[in-house]
Structure 1
Amino acid sequence: MSVPLDLDGPAAPPRSNGELVFAAPWESRAFGLVLTLVDAGRFTYEEFRGRLIARIGEDPAAPYWESWLAGLEDLLVPTVDVGEVAARAAELHDREDHH
């Protein structure tokens, strides 16, 4: 991927021994989703980074990946059709395997 990560600034992801740190699977998925959406041209990494920095500034004590997810939501929620999401969620819920 060609997405530059800010490794030193206010939006730098948590690292240990040079590796990204994820405490739960959803954190790595949220990370990958942002990079995938940037690669797909949905928004730029700088647009996302600005939202992430704003979220960190709003609540510096919040866990990093929660701020990451909130920044992603800030970019996506205005583009999502709530009715379409609700219909899809109901469709998935009604499946036997609930997936």
Structure 2
Amino acid sequence: MSETRELDATSVEGLPRANGELVFEQPWESRAFGLAAALADQGLFTWKDFQDGLIAEVAADDSQPGEYRYYERWLGALEGLLLERGVVSVADIDDRADVLCHRPAGHDHRHEHDHEH
């Protein structure tokens, strides 16, 4: 069993859950979760390496009470690990974030339907 398979087990501690199911407040959170799992599954890093980074990220969190967002820490741990491994640079992350921040709403949702964006 690969290390990422542990991710699917109900015994994984710390992940936000409701009725045993993972909970994501925003679509990007599930994408960050899936990206970390896929990269670990591909052998880019071990799940333990990611968990260690996440623990350090949570410990360093200086959010005020009520501001804490688990998946922001998750993303920080993933970015840190990818930077450490030389997979991406700070400029790569900044450039990609800039592109994503300037996309119009519904940019990747192109079909006819009756709801607004």
| TM-score normalised by the chain length of structure 1 | 0.73
Report the residue type matching 1:23 in the other structure: E
| 2:46 corresponds to | 44
Q: Aligned equivalents of 1:42 and 1:60: distance in 2?
A: 29
Q: Aligned equivalents of 1:39 and 1:17: distance in 2?
A: 26
| 1:69 corresponds to | 75
* CA gap 1:43/1:31 in 2 versus in 1, 3 angstroms: same
Q: Aligned equivalents of 1:74 and 1:34: distance in 2?
A: 12
| 1:32 corresponds to | 34
Instruction: Work out the percentage of aligned pairs sharing the same amino acid.
Output: 47
Give 5+ residue unaligned stretches, structure 1.
Answer: none
Show CA shifts across 1:18-42 (max 9, x none). Answer: 0000000000000000000011100
Structure showing greater Rg:
2
Report the residue type matching 1:54 in the other structure: A
| 1:19 corresponds to | 21
| 2:104 corresponds to | none
State the aligned residue count. Answer: 89
- Deviation of the 1:60 alpha carbon: 6.5
Which 4+ stretches in 1 moved above 2 angstroms?
A: 5-8
**Counting helix residues as a fraction of each chain, which structure ranks higher?**
1
**For the aligned residues, what is the CA RMSD?**
2.9
- Deviation of the 1:77 alpha carbon: 1.8
- Deviation of the 1:7 alpha carbon: 2.2
